[in-house]
Structure 1
């Protein structure tokens, strides 16, 4: 089953191996010879890591499996088809609420808004979030960051969620529905936001500024974390991943060019995505964990989370000594 899931979801695989080049590991484990299966979304992290070159000389291999959204990625993480993967705050919390098999191991923050937005098609009569009352809106997948944004925006506008027709769709289906007018608005994230803006002339009704903390996370399977050698490899990987984020902020044009080439997206789309993806690593301090806990509490109060999720006990930070 593990092989079948990887074969079905992996669109690209990057195998990097070489002599140890001063890797930093945590604990008694030995990273050499390990293989990390990394869950990515729409090729964005692979493009970042390949463009930056930070994995050169790693004493382990990295295989990337691509997913259209966080929900199937996290399901693969739960089933051990991947060891570690990237997801936003809401899907991470939904996964934590559904399983004891996953922990949060690292965090990043996006200071800019716009990549996560509620979009309108050209010529829409909608002028405010309040105008979504009675309209059909897709927040993309259930429990996604798009779902959380929609709920928070409706709350801000004083519109009960049950007064909006919410339609959960996978990104490709939501994009098609948006183009044909089958939905009135679409709450989604980059690269889908940027593609809709460039290809369809979509406009932003409300972005996530002030509504979500802009945090993304690396989540890992607990069995992989409990394996000392695998954990050592993932600790080194996280350190390299953070260096890749630093490289992307310092070299935006190079990142844009390589991202466009690897993902085969138009340069205009790649440029918008790269500009809005200037993330940086943040430690999993009590303040950061508290921000994620606030999202959890909001999701619980809105009924998206069916159980209370206490974030702090689910954090197993991977950081260099």
Structure 2
């Protein structure tokens, strides 16, 4: 079981490494004559799988072209270059893009329960609480400014510790997984399927992102250029509603969604179920509450030198597309 799950995780990583900017139109044929085409930015076929499996784009009066990327950074680079109309990520990658000058606006919020992010320690580490992390080396995946780094920073703060009380090292998940399984890493800040792998390979969950330890928010955002095009803006508004329907479908059809992940991403059963359970479950309007919550994330990451300059989250939103 352990070997199969770990191997599957590595195979998914290999899939993610293959950046594919494709013209896989999922809009209904009735809209194929439309002059409006949305190029939707995606990571690892996440959104594409959801809308295809749920049939949410059936009857759309515009065309959809998917731009696939291995992660948030290259996706936002594509949005900046005009190769995609939209971005999609957890809160921190969106904040990093805004901080870096990418000309986007957040147009909808996504929500999950935060349990897909965690601090995992080896069972033989002698670490039984967050306070025991003082003086320890913590490996953060994948890179500086990840959602797993925010979890680490936030729980340290909640437990009266400073971020400088731990020694942070950044490693890609595949490299960290090998080091964790061999015992060379005691504490790993990780997410998704790799969290499941770590728990299978001699790990225990110290704390996860539930109960507000991470915001649980992600964003769909759109380029300023796309938002300035009235036809595209109308299509984007419709797409957000359809995406909301699709995410509701995933929450009531978990087995079918997991099967779609298997078929479209080449994941095995265990990995597909883990990815399905970690998915966002709602598309929400961007409210003052959403902005305040994510502003707290931005301010904390700015305070530890990870997000510089910081971001005014409320001013980075266009709330007119989804009421």
TM-score, normalized by the shorter chain, greater than 0.5: yes
1:16 to 26, 32, 46: 26
Structure 1 residues 113 and 307: alpha-carbon distance in aligned structure 2, compared to 1, 3 A threshold: closer
**In structure 2, distance between residues paired with 1:171 and 1:14:** 29
Give the Cα separation in 1 of the matches to 2:300 and 2:119. Answer: 19
Deviation at 1:243, TM superposition (A): 0.9
Q: Deviations over 1:5-39 (max 9, x none)?
A: xx962176632244447xxxxxxxxx933333333
Alignment length (residue pairs)? 303
Aligned to 1:157: 159
Match of 1:128 in 2: 129
* Residue among 133, 145, 159 paired with 1:143: 145
Distance 1:18 1:277, change over 3 A: closer
Distance 1:40 1:175 in 2: 25
2:292 maps to 290
Cα deviation for residue 286 of structure 1 reads 1.3
In the alignment, which of 62, 83, 92 is matched to residue 94 of structure 2?
92
Name whichever of 250-259 and 11-20 sits farther off.
11-20
String of CA shifts for 1:161-199, please: whole Å, max 9, x gaps. 22322112333333333334443222222243234445x
Provide the residue aligned with 2:69 in structure 1.
Answer: 66
Kindly indicate whether residue 58 of structure 2 is the aligned counterpart of residue 48 of structure 1. no
Residue 135 and residue 248 in structure 1: after superposition, are their counterparts in 2 closer, same or farther (change >3 A)? same
Aligned residue for 1:9, secondary structure, equals coil
CA-to-partner distance for each residue in 1:108-150, whole Å, 9 max, x for gaps? 111x342111122454332222222333222221111111111
SS at match of 1:167: strand
Q: 1:24 — aligned with what?
A: none
Q: 5+ residue gaps in structure 2? A: 1-16
Q: CA RMSD in A?
A: 2.6
Alpha carbons 1:106, 1:318 under 8 Å: kept: no
Matched residue of 2:271: which SS?
A: helix
Give secondary structure in 2 for the equivalent of 1:159.
coil
Which aligned pairs between 1:214-229 and structure 2 lie closer than 5 A? 214-229=216-231
CA–CA separation in structure 2 for the residues paired with 1:8 and 1:270: 18
Preserved contact between residue 104 and residue 224 of structure 2 (Cα < 8 Å): yes
Moved more, 127-136 or 141-150: 127-136
Give me the whole-angstrom Cα distance separating, in 2, the residues matched to 1:183 and 1:35: 47
Q: Whole-Å Cα distance in 2 between the matches of residues 197 and 39 of structure 1? A: 32
Match of 1:26 in 2: none
User: Which residue in 2 is equivalent to 1:25?
Assistant: none
> Contact 2:22–2:65 (CA<8 Å) still a contact in 1?
no
Instruction: Please report the TM-score for the alignment, with normalisation by the length of structure 2.
Output: 0.83
How has the CA–CA distance of structure 1 residues 172 and 152 changed in structure 2, closer, same or farther, with 3 Å as cutoff?
same
Report what 1:205 is aligned to: 206
246-255 or 227-236: which moved more? 227-236
| Structure-1-length-normalised TM-score | 0.84
> Secondary structure at 1:242's aligned position in 2?
helix
Distance 2:121 2:173 in 1: 15
Give the superposition deviation at 1:107: 0.4
Asked whether 1:275 is paired with 2:277, we answer yes
Distance 1:174 1:260 in 2: 24
